[in-house]
Structure 1
């Protein structure tokens, strides 16, 4: 099996553009007179797409090391966002929901063949790899941004917060999230078959609850802020970055 190579330019391009916007934020430059909020918005969206690709790459890499060579044939080891299933539902819609609602939903998905993995517990490692990337990215970004008193520090701090929130959200033991994938190998076939009809709808239900019940969203972000502080981040900078990110409000 082979895969198309179209789109391999996207990840490095997003990385370069995001880095350039970061330089503008660090130097307080305003190309074309763009407001700081717009630059923060572009930086965070670009950074989020980069970490989304790294999240899915981690799933694929662990699967490959565990014996599922099909992930290489599908192009999952290329960091090409077009390879992570459907472009609209896996990339565009999560980015829109992040921009509008500020909630970092899981985006891409790597199709793994559990039957090719050497041990059943490799499936748990595959599922855990993605959220661990988010938590690690959050810790690194928080540590880097903690000493910055600048728009770039605010953008990095908010991006770090989103990584922590995404990591926590992804670890929920709900079908459609990586947390369920961690425990799924140990569930009975009968139980998995019983929930199969509702599995596609459960992530949407989680998002609807987060959107409609403010207390749930506050609890989720509160946990994210606690991890940010533990990692040496500045919650005030993250809050400022969150406000700048939604510059239209």
Structure 2
């Protein structure tokens, strides 16, 4: 086998969808079917599995969007790092990308965004490309949210099983919160990554030390009751535009917390 052929084979392997991701997606499909059919003995636990697996799938797609955009912007090292396989274990910070967002989901029902794939920014030319790489992740959450809410907008979800509708509404709400939070221009979040290329070197230098704490700071601010109420008022307004009713989201949240009575 020639050197060129070996490189092509290696590159193809770097882009093959990971069995781990396929397994998570399979859990989402099976648990979604269990919720829909009422087959599961513990329906609330099936809702829990459906929401968590769906949330992890969205996180993988979020990071994949960053990686794919970076690849087409000039960072050819992305494939070697395994980011194009959708394998959550390949991310630079598995704890930040998967564990913390799921933990925040369990604690507060908030779709707090995670990070991150390591992108070699020095390979990329042009401020607009840098901004697009950062925007690609949360835009994926926007797309996922719209797809989840589309059945409510079209009215096709009206005749669906109530538990499944509630689960879908709750998962859609999480996607909206993730997209909205991620677009905040806070160091460490994608929103800051969108504007950072357009800032002066001095501003970026002063802000850099705060980047590791940006996500935790946002989560802390959301624990302030007045801020939390206004934030969720905005979230419910947004999902309401797509025909998702507040009580369905609340019911989905209740079903998700199977450990609570």
The question of a shared fold, defined as TM-score above 0.5 by the shorter chain, is answered with yes
Q: Superposed, which structure 2 residues align to 1:1-249 within 5 Å? A: 8-30=18-40, 33-34=41-42, 36-144=43-151, 146-147=157-158, 148-211=160-223, 213-249=224-260
Larger Rg: 2
Alignment check: 8 A CA contact 1:139 1:228 kept: no
Moved more, 14-23 or 139-148: 139-148
Q: Distance in 1 between matches of 2:106 and 2:259?
A: 11
Alignment check: 8 A CA contact 2:96 2:116 kept: no
Q: Distance in 2 between matches of 1:233 and 1:149?
A: 15
TM-score for the superposition, normalised by structure 2 = 0.87
SS of the aligned residue for 1:247 comes to coil
Q: Deviations over 1:176-220 (max 9, x none)?
A: 111000000011111111122222122211111112x02222222
Q: Distance in 2 between matches of 1:206 and 1:241?
A: 24
Q: Deviations over 1:94-122 (max 9, x none)?
A: 21221122122212311112221232210
TM-score for the superposition, normalised by structure 1 = 0.91
How many residues align? The count is: 245
**Distance change >3 Å, CA 89–CA 130, structure 1 → 2:** closer
Q: CA RMSD in A?
A: 2.1
Shift of 1:149: 4.4
Q: Deviations over 1:125-181 (max 9, x none)?
A: 011111111111111101235433421111111000000010000000000111000
